[in-house]
Each structure stands twice: as C-alpha cells, then as structure tokens.
Amino acid sequence: MGKWGLSRDPVIPVPWLTTAKTEYGRNKVLLRPGKGLMDWIKISTNKSLASQRLPSVTAEELIKHNKENDCWILLFGNVYDVTKYLEYHPGGIPELMRAAGTDASDLFNQYHAWVNYQNMLKACIVGPFRGSASKLPRAKDAILDNPSLKPSVPVSTILTMDSFALW
C-alpha cells in the first residue's frame, strides 16, 4: 500500500477506496471494465444463465444456494440464480451476497424499487417460490452499515472528489 492507501498495482482497486455510499444510501463500487449494465444486457439477452430451471423452488432448496459460486435469491415470488450477475451488480458482490439464499424482496425495494428486475434478470430465473418465506434466513446487514466490517482507516488518508478540486 502506498501513502494514500492506493494499491501499488493500479489494476487492482483497493475495495474500501472504490466503495462509496450514494446520497440515497446505496453502496456503489467501481466495476471492472466489461462488467457494466450494457455488458450484462449483451450477455444475458435471449439466453438462460440459470444453473437449472425448476417447476417450483422450496425454502429448503433456496437456502442451499448461498455461496458466491452458487447464489440464488427470492424476489417477489420468483427465484433467480444471480451467480453470473454478481460481478455486474453496481453495489458489488458483497452487497448482493447479503441476500444469497434469502427473500431479497424487501432489500431490493429499499434500494432498487424503480429497477425493472423482471427484464434484467429474466435470463436468471430458476422458477416460482413455493412454500413459506418465514423459513428463510434474514438478509445480512449492509457492509458499510456494519461497524465491525468497516476498515479502520484514518479519514485523512481517504481521497474524495474534493481532493481533485481545481478551485
């Protein structure tokens, strides 16, 4: 690490430096080149990216899929395999993993109520949820909202847009 907390290799971003909370409380990260929304649209249009398609998904089945290499979420009655979408999520992989194997509907509404998830995730649909959502674990706390997960970095070393002000 350099003096300002920057990685010596400019290709590898430092996670705490490239994560920020927007004015609306959402966490945003710097995505790698080729991992933006338009890139996601290109790879997901007219394809099935879900690991499997099922006539229905139970709570017991959904809970099993809670890892980065196998990540399913429940959104408003349907289960989606978002494994391949993780690296395209503007809030970063850890933020989306908060909902892995759970009902993400409330969390989604909290941050993305205006997003057309049905169209954006149609390539990821596994099937309709059948069962009781009350059997599902609760989504985890936000990374930047959980003090135990925040890095302890002196505020004076963090660069902001004001650091580059020309006035």
What pTM did the predictor assign? 0.71
84 within domain boundaries: yes
Count how many residues are written for the chain.
Answer: 167
Residue 96 sits in a domain whose CATH number is 3.10.120.10
Instruction: Confirm if 75 and 122 have CB atoms less than 8 A apart.
Output: no
Question: d(Cα 53, Cα 17) in Å, to the nearest integer?
Answer: 38
CA–CA distance, 21 with 161 (Å, rounded to integer): 13
The total number of structural domains in the chain stands at 1
Q: Could you tell me the residue range of the domain that residue 54 belongs to?
A: 28-132
Question: What does each of the 167 residues of the chain score in pLDDT, given as a tens digit?
Answer: 444 444 444 444 444 434 445 555 556 778 888 999 999 999 999 999 999 999 999 999 999 999 999 999 999 999 999 999 999 998 889 989 999 999 999 989 888 888 999 999 999 999 999 989 899 988 887 655 444 444 444 445 555 555 555 65
Residue 127 lies in a domain: yes
